[in-house]
Amino acid sequence: MSVHHHTWFSKCSGSNSRFYASWPDVKTPMANEANPCPCDIGHKLEYGGMGQEVQVEHIKAYVTRSPVDAGKAVIVVQDIFGWQLPNTRYMADMIAGNGYTTIVPDFFVGQEPWDPAVNREVDAVLRYLKQQCHAQKIGIVGFCWGGIVVHHVMMTYPEVRAGVSVYGIIRDSEDVYNLKNPTLFIFAENDAVIPLKQWIWVSALTQKLKEHCKVNYQVKTFSGQTHGFVHRKREDCSPADKPYIEEARRNLIEWLNKHI
């Protein structure tokens, strides 16, 4: 089955991506969400994880060491369901299996979802990765609320070599194009969480990146997909969705492999 999507900028070349087993067949009821992102939890996994919880200065975090120590690490930023959501840890472990030490910090610091003014937490995580994990090359991936954080980090921290923002709301600001390093933006065409005006901002982002951005970027929208499809949707829930889910995850890994 061919996968149709709208894409700007060229696709990455192939790489030796490696993925863990398919997601367990588990589904939970819709959740009543808190602002700022009212979205259902989708398919919550029964997944124990391959990493361990650690204390990183003032925050807790879930860390998975790569089977191969290549001096590379990826920060994985949670959606509004928090750092302990099994789905997010599954994605972190998937990335770790491709050669990266991964860390899922509690960016909410035990509180409710809030505006992503996260520089203090990012600074702490970067220190931990460099000092405790000996990471020399660092990237970042985020989902929903975490996608907003990725966009912020990629405009603020030149030392973060690559970013992947997955269905993150775009802020209406003049400097949205001011990326320091290569960034991939993934969106779902039928994303009910993102308001109509958001698509105007996505269009504006694309135009501003095209006109002003000095680093590699890609903005990619997956046809027919809904919010959370990359990390909160089982591959087996619909045969028609499986190619989109797999392609998005493959794109994520390829982007990291190419730019970190």
Residue 36 has pLDDT above 50, yes or no: no
Residue 62 has pLDDT above 60, yes or no: yes
Residues 82 and 226: their CA atoms lie apart, in Å, by 20
Higher pLDDT, 239 or 179: 179
Q: How confident is the model at residue 33 (pLDDT cuts 50, 70, 90)?
A: very low
Q: Which residue of the set 79, 93, 106, 191 is catalytic?
A: 191
Q: Which residue of the set 12, 133, 144, 213 is catalytic?
A: 144
Compute and round to an integer the Cα radius of gyration of the chain.
Answer: 17
Residues 38 and 224: their CA atoms lie apart, in Å, by 20
Q: Which domains does the chain have, with CATH numbers?
A: 5-259 (3.40.50.1820)
* Length in residues, the chain: 260
For 22-26, 90-94, 162-166, 212-216, which range has the lowest pLDDT when averaged over its residues? 22-26
Q: Which residue of the set 5, 152, 227, 259 is catalytic?
A: 227
What pairing do the DSSP bridges indicate for beta strands 5-8 and 217-222? Answer: antiparallel
Alpha helices in the chain (DSSP H): 86-96, 119-131, 145-156, 196-212, 242-259
For residue range 196-210, what is the model confidence (pLDDT) as tens digits? 556 677 788 888 899
For residue range 141-186, what is the model confidence (pLDDT) as tens digits? 999 899 999 999 999 999 999 999 998 877 666 678 899 999 999 9
Residue 136 has pLDDT above 90, yes or no: yes
Query: What pLDDT shows up at residue 183?
Result: 97
- 42 backbone φψ class: left, alpha, beta (φ>0; ψ -120 to 50): left
Average pLDDT (127-135) is 97
For residue range 110-119, what is the model confidence (pLDDT) as tens digits? 787 766 679 9
Question: pTM here?
Answer: 0.81
For 40-49, 64-73, 198-207, which range has the lowest pLDDT when averaged over its residues? 40-49
112 contacts 33 by C-beta, under 8 angstroms: no
Residue 191 has pLDDT above 70, yes or no: yes
* DSSP tag of 186: E
Query: What pLDDT shows up at residue 5?
Result: 40
Residues 81 and 244: their CA atoms lie apart, in Å, by 23
User: What is the share, in percent, of the chain residues with pLDDT greater than 90?
Assistant: 49
For 58-62, 86-90, 178-182, 191-195, which range has the lowest pLDDT when averaged over its residues? 191-195
Query: What pLDDT shows up at residue 202?
Result: 78
- Active-site annotation holds for 191: yes
Residue 2 has pLDDT above 70, yes or no: no
Q: Which of 62, 72, 23 is nearest to 236 (CA)?
A: 23
DSSP 234-255: -TTS-TTTHHHHHHHHHHHHHH
Higher pLDDT, 235 or 92: 92
- Active-site annotation holds for 227: yes
Query: What pLDDT shows up at residue 245?
Result: 85
Query: What pLDDT shows up at residue 15?
Result: 33
